[in-house]
Amino acid sequence: MKWEIITSPMCFKNGCRMETPNPEMSLVRRTSSIFVLIMLVLFLAPRATAQERIAPSLVTANATTTLTVYAQAPLARVRDVLTGFTHLNPDIAVKYLEVKTGPLYNAMIRRKAPEKMPDIIWSSAMDRQIKLANDGYALQYEPSELDHLPPQLNWKDIAYGITAEPVVIVYNKRLLSEAQVPHSHAELTEALDQNQALFRGKVGTYDPQVSDTGLLFVTQDLAVTARTWDLVAAMGHCKVRLYPTSAGMIDDVSSGRVLIAYNVLGSYAMKRMQHDPNLGVVWPSDYTLLMSRVALISKASRNQEAAKRFLDYLLSEDGQTRLAHDGLGRVRDGLQFPDISVPVDASALRPIAMNIDLLVYLDQAKREAFLKQWRKLIDG
């Protein structure tokens, strides 16, 4: 087990986090007594042996309760919101465990010993989160900030959408001219069909056979329009490259290994684009899906009051502001993207609805029927 001690204090300027190393502050602001205990557990595969990296950072001497959060978001994207929470709640230490969506879901349904169960489950796998809530694994609770949340992001006062993140097209600005860049799903289909020589082996997208997020996105596309199958077929004709994560697609677009990638998580792409001149991002003009990271309180939680305070904070003005500054769109008082200019009309934004329809492709037979048709078209 590798221990990593993080000794740099956090400070904020103009709403942005800065890390200022200071070797004389190994205990990190003794006078403030504000610490966060972060446990980062990386699951490389559902059956893989977990690697633990325990990083005590801003750890509180006053904590009397430890809140365990299972989440799929990279630690870097939520460090500020964790710090903000513990600043306001110095009696609560937070264990943050980064877990892939499959193992995260399995950890809940396998019902481990109570002391090994999380208090909060927070994931981009919206369908699996609704499944957990529907099957009785989550606690019903009305957050104090509920009046500020759009109704479509509240599932029966059990599961709550915390962010709004666009699903986008990413392209290499150095290798594609502006005239070659498609700006809608229909234009992407046409571009691939008409320029197979250019795009052969140079298109990327999620592999829905291995990625829950990828399966969610492409089936949501299909719910919007049956023409999605035409796009899948066009990618197949171009010998599309398949990926388990958005990060892999973004890396390969940046390097030029692929020219364009479809259904990339926009929060990651736009953050990377700020310092990567090779990356361009398109919000499709016909419709842009908006994904939300869904949070719920485990019914097995041994720290339910602390979990309720955490959920309240995620939806608070301060919590939402910190998430937005880290590239995760706000949902408080409507869907907002305060740090960017949204390049499509508001009518084109399609939030993925938090309802029972999300469970359709968790049915094994329906999932396999979909994947069989998808494989047939992808294989050309």
pLDDT of residue 26: 39
Query: Does a structural domain hold residue 104?
Result: yes
* pLDDT tens figures, 191-211: 999 999 999 999 999 999 999
178 and 139 in a single domain? The answer is no
Examine the pLDDT at 288 and tell me if it is beyond 70: yes
Rounded to two decimals, the pTM is 0.82
Query: Does a structural domain hold residue 337?
Result: no
Query: Does a structural domain hold residue 87?
Result: yes
Cα–Cα nearest to 350, from 262, 285, 287, 267: 287
Strand partners, 281: 170
192 and 246 in a single domain? The answer is yes
- Cα angle, residue 168 at apex, residues 272 and 221 outer, rounded to 5°: 150
- Residue 46: pLDDT band (50, 70, 90) is very low
117 and 254 in a single domain? The answer is no
Quick one: CA torsion of 207, 208, 211, 215, rounded to 10 degrees? 140
**CB contact at 8 A, 247 and 268:** yes
- Please tell me which residue, 24 or 121, carries the higher pLDDT value: 121
30 and 45 in a single domain? The answer is yes
Query: Does a structural domain hold residue 171?
Result: yes
Q: What is the mean pLDDT of residues 87-93?
A: 93
99 and 124 in a single domain? The answer is yes
Q: What is the mean pLDDT of residues 120-132?
A: 94
Cα–Cα nearest to 95, from 128, 118, 62, 114: 118
- Residue 101: pLDDT band (50, 70, 90) is confident
141 and 10 in a single domain? The answer is yes
Extended strands (E) in the chain: 2-3, 10-13, 16-19, 36-42, 51-57, 65-71, 92-98, 120-123, 154-155, 159-161, 165-172, 203-206, 241-243, 260-265, 279-282, 288-291, 294-297, 349-351
65 and 180 in a single domain? The answer is no
142 and 280 in a single domain? The answer is no
228 and 366 in a single domain? The answer is yes
Q: What is the mean pLDDT of residues 146-160?
A: 94
Helix, strand, or coil here: 67? strand
115 and 186 in a single domain? The answer is no
Compute CA distances 222 → 3, 225, 228, 242, 369, whole Å: 45, 5, 5, 18, 14
Examine the pLDDT at 55 and tell me if it is beyond 80: no
pLDDT of residue 74: 85
Q: Which domain holds residue 241?
A: 166-290+342-378
Cα–Cα nearest to 296, from 136, 151, 150: 136
Weakest-pLDDT range from 50-54, 345-349, 373-377: 50-54
Query: Does a structural domain hold residue 334?
Result: no
Examine the pLDDT at 14 and tell me if it is beyond 70: no
Tokens (6 digits) for 226: 């049956």
pLDDT of residue 333: 85
Weakest-pLDDT range from 6-15, 228-237, 270-279, 330-339: 6-15
Percent of the chain at pLDDT exceeding 70: 81
Residue written as tokens 């221990």?
Answer: 3
The Cα–Cα gap between 54 and 76 comes to: 15
Number of domains in the chain: 2
**CB contact at 8 A, 150 and 349:** no
Examine the pLDDT at 82 and tell me if it is beyond 70: yes
204 and 131 in a single domain? The answer is no
Query: Does a structural domain hold residue 331?
Result: no
pLDDT of residue 338: 52
Query: Does a structural domain hold residue 333?
Result: no
Query: How many distinct helices (H) and strands (E) make up the chain?
Result: 12, 18
* pLDDT tens figures, 215-273: 999 999 999 999 999 999 999 999 999 999 999 999 999 999 999 999 999 999 998 99
- Residue 112: pLDDT band (50, 70, 90) is low
Q: CATH number of the domain that 119 lies in?
A: 3.40.190.10
135 and 252 in a single domain? The answer is no
Examine the pLDDT at 7 and tell me if it is beyond 70: no
